[in-house]
Amino acid sequence: MINLIREPLIFEISSPGKTGTRLPALDVPEKLEVLEGLAVREDIEGFPEVSETEITRHFTRLSQMNYCVDFGFYPLGSCTMKYNPKINEKVAALNSLAGVHPLAPEKLAQGNLELMKTLEKLLCEITGMDAVSLQPAAGAHGELTGMMLIRAYHEAHGNPRKYVLIPDSAHGTNPSSAHICGYTVKEIKSNEKGTISLEDLAREMNEEVAALMVTNPNTLGVFESEICEIAEIVHARGGFVYMDGANLNALTGIARPGEMKVDVLHLNLHKTFSTPHGGGGPGSGPVAVKKILEPYLPLPVIEEKEGRYYLNYNRPQSIGRVKSFYGHFLVMLKALAYILTLGPAGLREMTEIAVLNSNYIRKSLEGVYHLKYDSPTLHECVFSDKFQKESGVSNLDISKRLLDYGLHPPTMSFPLIVHGALMIEPTETESRRDLDLFIEAMKAIDREARENPDLLRTAPHITYVRRLDEVQAARNPVLRWENK
């Protein structure tokens, strides 16, 4: 009987002399003289020797152990792990697009440049901003680029300033992006609604502050309803408003950051606009700016003249390159296909369903799981394990138990302002049936927490890998197989 609980390592399957191929006898010398002295790979000692059947079944079984978006939904709040249409993958795989070399001259890449310029224009329209750079490779890279633009502006005007203000509900990479750009971070506290305290912001904002980094809607899924007043406080002292656009899935087609007096923001094409996320990467984190920051955008910039597209490197105020070549082209292409397929009405519907799905889960689980902030939420909601803690069950136990139900856990322990957080974002691609499966599993786990808490504290029970000793794994990781 095949042991599906423990798939052996490929080294354990290996036996000396096995091979997956059999080639005919050579009619030429095994080593051609022309290769002598070159970096030709020698046989690797201890390399697995397996048959074609064994290697096929091994990796097929491994793939069946993986949880993927084609198997079930990812309720990962703040990460927007939604199903991605396969047609976009097919478009991006067209050889006429994917096969163009990044060093091809402009005259041989006019179609690629036109598609990139079209995406820039659409992103400007969606966000209400004036210009876009597609170069940044992912969200955090977009954050860093945005903060580099802000610093470049302040330096050009004689004072880079010292501080960046960041709310306690912001994404965790925001402080790192500010710090790398040479700024000291000051935290702005949230009020009882889970939004930025205007009083705290006004007290901290002065001429030494370069910018405020705000996530809107924030990591609680709450919209910063006073964003225009927030921007006025920052602008009055000469600062910029940077918006983390990772949660644009809650705004697209309904509200535009540019009309909220935002000066610069990054977008996650691999969240809002279809491209695979996380292990399915790579990502793309374009940066959109208002006119005042446009001269500082990374170079080269795509420009159009008389129906021809070219790359402009002659931009003396630019911060320079932030990515080799021009960004992740195929990721951009998938996002463009997604935007053009849905159109304005479809993008708005995307947002409306994302918000509806999130609130359906919130209302279904209110009272079962603790909700620290009762403000209206958009695309995600944040519960905590406060009620289950009374039975000695933590958010980690809840998440591990979800694996036994065949469901991926939500984001845990973030944002930090909610102790024992369970951050849930269902996205617009989930059906009511799948939402109900998740809701019923969460309710069943709550009952188990009260009736049989040990069941949760030792979960998962039916997965290929059981609960790990995370402390031991962190301190003594096994990084190499040794056949002893």
Residue type, 70: D
Structure tokens at 35: 């290769």
- Is residue 275 left, alpha or beta, with left meaning phi > 0 and alpha meaning psi from -120 to 50? beta
Whether the link from the prior residue into 257 is cis, omega within 30° of 0, is no
List where CATH 3.90.1150.10 sits in the chain.
Answer: 343-472
DSSP state of 29: -
Structure tokens at 28: 């030429």
* CA nearest neighbour of 446 among 404, 400, 391: 391
Say if residue 39's pLDDT is above 70: no
- C-alpha 264/C-alpha 206 separation (Å) is 19
Structure tokens at 119: 């995406």
Write out pLDDT tens, residues 127-170.
999 999 999 999 999 999 999 999 999 999 999 999 999 999 88
The phi and psi torsions of 399 (rounded to 5 degrees) equal -65, -40
| Cβ-contact 316, 158 below 8 angstroms | no
Structure tokens at 312: 């402009």
pLDDT at 137: 92
Neighbours of 110 (CB within 10 A): 13
Q: DSSP E strands: which ranges in 355-453? A: 381-384, 411-412, 421-424
Say if residue 83's pLDDT is above 90: no
pLDDT at 3: 44
pLDDT band at 1 (very low <50, low <70, confident <90, very high): very low
CATH class of the region 86-341:
alpha beta
pTM comes to 0.89
Say if residue 184's pLDDT is above 80: yes
Would you give the distance in Å from CA 186 to the centre of its chain?
25
Residue type, 15: S
Beta bridge pairs of residue 187:
166
Instruction: Tell which CATH classification among 3.90.1150.10, 3.90.700.10, 1.10.3720.10, 3.40.710.10 matches the domain 343-472.
Output: 3.90.1150.10
* CA nearest neighbour of 350 among 271, 289, 435, 283: 271
Average pLDDT, the chain: 91
Neighbours of 219 (CB within 10 A): 28
| Cβ-contact 359, 179 below 8 angstroms | no
List where CATH 3.40.640.10 sits in the chain.
Answer: 86-341
- C-alpha 13/C-alpha 18 separation (Å) is 10
Of the ranges 18-32, 200-214, 421-435, which one carries the lowest mean pLDDT score? 18-32
Beta bridge pairs of residue 383:
422
Say if residue 481's pLDDT is above 70: no
Say if residue 238's pLDDT is above 70: yes
| Cβ-contact 417, 197 below 8 angstroms | no
Q: Where do we find the tokens 């502006």?
A: 153
Q: DSSP E strands: which ranges in 298-367? A: 301-305, 308-312
Residue type, 76: L
Would you give the distance in Å from CA 465 to the centre of its chain?
26
Of the ranges 76-90, 371-385, 389-403, which one carries the lowest mean pLDDT score? 76-90
